[in-house]
Amino acid sequence: MRNAVRPLSPFISRHLPIEESPPRVVRDASSPSAGVRLEGRWTSAQLGIRQVWRSLDAELKQLAGRPDQRWDLASIEQLDHVGAQLLWATWGRRWPQQVDATDSQRSMLERVGRFSVESPAEPAFSVMRGIDSLGRRVMEALEQARALTEMIGQLALDVMRLLRKPGTGPWRDISGHLYQMGTTALPITALVGFLIGVVLAYLMSMQLRQYGAESFIVNILGISLVRELGPLLAAILVAGRSGSAITAQIGVMRVTEELDAMRVMGISHGFRLVMPRSLALAVAMPLIGVWTILASLAGGMLAADLAMNITPAYFVNALPQAVSLPNLGIAVLKSMVFGVLIALIGCHYGMRVEPNTESLGKGTTASVVTSITVVILVDALFAIVFRNVGI
């Protein structure tokens, strides 16, 4: 009968506040060997309450060392598997000599006992495996470099295919990506560029004033912003914005087997996924770069006017003499390379995502970090290669 009533207790809890029936151990005071009676609700919900657990745990730890104890479970209101597990652990994973329990409690404890096995151990750390994993990492880095090179080659082949048959190209996709990665990036790049321009101009004005060389602000801002900072800032922002988006999109497509579905239809990932994104960024990135340069120059112009009374008219007039046209050419060329690299790295990490959430997060992070690093590396390369041009 008790058996039938027991699972009902969740409903009783509505009338009886949970606090009123915590699991507890009642000791018979008459003699020390008389045994213990367990009362209350031995359920996981109760054991999850901190105060309840603390007092019960202390009590049970005391009892654990006394094997000839008599255990009376019959007045437990409700026992679930976690409660049974707790008792079983207290008893040292075997039946004590004397137990009073109902049939259902007995069968639950028996089930718990039968299934309480050692869980398979996680492999322990060893030096050999450390070396092994180092080697594995090196191999993986090489493999990644190979895959990235392959992707660049594939992109070249796909672009040639597009040039031969322009009508078959994924133009709608390209224009969609152009909007997503280009147009929607305009406000944030303008804001960041403008603020950097203002900050640079203010800092420079303090130094230049000491030498009375205020008018050189145009040269300094012009060269640094047009040649270096504008394209770099834009590329870093786009790497964070669109690089992560590309990885996440393609990664989710991989998790949901969309990539496989596409391959089954005989549609190449390179032509349909990688190329549109690369082309879109190759077009959008130079435009965003120039846009960022303009915004930062506007910021610098404003700050120069406020801090040093250099009028915008003078600024605009002096700019073409300070910054020769090749500088702008370098900026555009650089931005185009940055754009293609960001897209390729994003796609590369997206294709390597494994079907779990952790891998998706790791892939996205790796994509952003790698593309920003690569952008800065390539920027340094450009600085070396074009050191004699335009200055």
Nearer to another protein, 50 or 165 (CB): 50
Query: CB of 117: closest distance to another protein in angstroms?
Result: 5
H-run or E-run covering 21:
none
Exposure class string for 329-348: b at 16+ Cβ within 10 A, else e: ebbbebbbbbbbbbbbbbbb
Structure tokens that stand for 256 in this block: 């949901």
Nearer to another protein, 45 or 319 (CB): 45
Nearer to another protein, 60 or 238 (CB): 60
Nearer to another protein, 136 or 209 (CB): 136
Query: CB of 2: closest distance to another protein in angstroms?
Result: 10
Query: CB of 95: closest distance to another protein in angstroms?
Result: 16
The Cα–Cα gap between 85 and 104 comes to 15
Nearer to another protein, 111 or 146 (CB): 111
Amino acid 248 reads A
Question: In the complex, which residues of this chain contact another protein (CB under 8 A)?
Answer: 5-8, 10-12, 14-15, 43-45, 47-50, 53-54, 80-82, 85-86, 88-89, 107, 111-112, 114-120, 122, 354-358
Nearer to another protein, 52 or 341 (CB): 52
Structure tokens that stand for 139 in this block: 């191999």
The Cα–Cα gap between 279 and 271 comes to 11
Nearer to another protein, 51 or 309 (CB): 51
Structure tokens that stand for 195 in this block: 């603020």
Amino acid 301 reads M
Contact 320, 218 (CB under 8 A): no
Instruction: Report residue 146 CA to chain centroid gap.
Output: 25
Nearer to another protein, 110 or 140 (CB): 110
Nearer to another protein, 114 or 165 (CB): 114
**Cβ of 57: how many Cβ atoms within 10 Å?**
13
Contact 51, 90 (CB under 8 A): no
Structure tokens that stand for 43 in this block: 């359920």
Residue in 246, 250, 272, 288 with CA at minimum distance from that of residue 171: 272
Query: CB of 79: closest distance to another protein in angstroms?
Result: 9
Contact 185, 286 (CB under 8 A): no
Contact 275, 170 (CB under 8 A): yes
**Cβ of 250: how many Cβ atoms within 10 Å?**
26
Query: CB of 279: closest distance to another protein in angstroms?
Result: 33
Query: CB of 211: closest distance to another protein in angstroms?
Result: 59
Query: CB of 15: closest distance to another protein in angstroms?
Result: 8
Residue in 76, 99, 84, 66 with CA at minimum distance from that of residue 25: 76
Query: CB of 110: closest distance to another protein in angstroms?
Result: 11
Helix (H, G, I), strand (E, B) or coil at 76: strand
Query: CB of 62: closest distance to another protein in angstroms?
Result: 16
